Amino acid sequence: MAVLGNNKGLCGNNTGLKPCPTNRRKGSNATLVLIILYIVCLIISLLIIVGIIFIYRMREAAVDEPTAAPIETYFATWNYEGENVHEEILKATQKFDSKYCIGVGGYGCVYKAQLPTGEVVAIKKFHKNDGILDGEEAFTTEINGSLADNLRDEVKALELGWRKRVNIVKGLANATCYMHYECCPAIIHRDILSKNVLLDDECEAHISDFGSATTLDPDSSN
3-state secondary structure of 180: helix
| Chain centroid to CA 137 | 40
Answer yes or no: is 112 a known binding residue: no
User: Contact at 8 Å (CB) between 91 and 84?
Assistant: no
* Residues in Cβ contact with 111 at an 8 Å cutoff, skipping those fewer than 6 apart: 93, 96, 100, 101, 102, 122, 123, 124, 125
Q: For residues 43 and 194, give the distance between their C-alpha atoms in angstroms, rounded to a whole number.
A: 68
**What count of Cα atoms within 13 Å lies in the side-chain half-sphere of residue 66?**
3
Q: For residues 51 and 76, give the distance between their C-alpha atoms in angstroms, rounded to a whole number.
A: 42
* Residues in Cβ contact with 171 at an 8 Å cutoff, skipping those fewer than 6 apart: 204, 205
Q: For residues 221 and 62, give the distance between their C-alpha atoms in angstroms, rounded to a whole number.
A: 18
Choosing from 97, 130, 191, 201, the catalytic residue is 191
Q: Is 191 a catalytic residue?
A: yes
- Annotated binding-site residues for ATP read 125
Catalytic residues: 191
- Annotated binding-site residues read 125
